[in-house]
Structures are given as C-alpha cells and as structure tokens.
Amino acid sequence: MQIKNNKIVTLDYILKDGEGQVIDSSEGREDFVYLHGASNIVPGLEKALTGKKVGVEFDVSVSPEEGYGTRNEELVDEVPRAMFDGNEVQLGMQFHAETPAGEKMIVSVIEFDDEIVKVDGNHPLSGAVLDFTIKVVGIRDASEEEINHGHAHQSGGACSH
C-alpha cells in the first residue's frame, strides 16, 4: 500500500529548524497519525510523503512557502500594556485576537515593557526551513467518517473532537 489521498498514515518524525536544532519529535509520545490529502500537515511534507510505503525512512527539507508560510510584518502589532487589565504578561504567551478586518488569529507576545506589549500573529515557525526526518510506520484506508471529518480517528474508532 502506498500513501495517497484518503489513507490514514502513522509516522515517526523529528523536526529540526534550518540550524539543526530539534523543535519537535514524535519520540516518546503517542504515534503521530494523520489523514493524507486533507491538509492535516504542512503542504511540503504531504507532497514528500505521497507514494511512500511502510518502512520507508527519508529526510525532507521544506521551504517556508510550503511550510508555515513566510513572515508577514504587518501581523506584528503594539498594544498598550493597560489593555491587559493588570494581568500578567509573559514572553511567548498566546491569546486570540481579532484583526481590524475582523479575522480571528492567535498572537504571541514577543516583547513587552511597562507601557507597550508587542504581539506577533505569525505562526511561530513562519519563515523557518523545516528539516524533517520521517519514518512511515503505518498506512491504512480511512473510514468514510474520517474522510467526512477531514482527520484521523484513534484506531479508526470514535471521533474524539
């Protein structure tokens, strides 16, 4: 069986940034399972996995364009500290915000002082080259329900979302 659309794929992976620093890994965690062809993973990785079989190991380098996108400096904004109503502010803290156009996004605190809090709506990995080391551990057909939902269910069973 090969990886193609509407297959449920189980992976082992290590994700490093362009400088070789490990950012994420499936090691010591529950299996990483996803539905192929449903944009559950970044486009560059999905493309690289297409056609692969169980047991295959490979490295793939994904550009920002096919990863979490390039950085958009317009998504960096400064808000008055007073808007936080005396709540604690920490670097890396994330919260939901709305753009002037009313779009919802998640922003992270990247800088702050007593007056100003600088927030960034870019994905923390935007602009980064993603170096994946991948091992294909399992492939199975997706159930009709999984295809309808657009994601994998644990062992093909009930939906946990």
- Answer for the pair 137, 11: CB distance below 8 angstroms, yes or no: yes
Q: How far is the CB of 30 from Zn ion (least distance, A)?
A: 17
The encoded tokens of residue 61 equal 């380098």
Q: Which residues contact 67 (CB under 8 A, 6 or more apart)?
A: 42, 43, 44, 125, 128, 129, 130
- Select the residue interacting with Zn ion from 108, 129, 149, 156 (CB under 5 A): 149
Per CB under 5 A, the segment of 45-53, 66-74, 84-92, 153-161 that binds Zn ion is 153-161
Q: How far is the CB of 150 from Zn ion (least distance, A)?
A: 8
Q: Which is nearer to Zn ion, 93 or 147 (CB)?
A: 147
For residues 35 and 120, give the distance between their C-alpha atoms in angstroms, rounded to a whole number. 30
Q: How far is the CB of 152 from Zn ion (least distance, A)?
A: 8
- Select the residue interacting with Zn ion from 1, 105, 116, 159 (CB under 5 A): 159
Print the binding letters for residues 96-135 with Zn ion: x by CB under 5 A, - otherwise.
----------------------------------------
Helix (H, G, I), strand (E, B) or coil at 149: helix
Name the DSSP class of 31: P
For residues 36 and 139, give the distance between their C-alpha atoms in angstroms, rounded to a whole number. 10
Binding site for Zn ion (CB under 5 A): 149, 159, 161
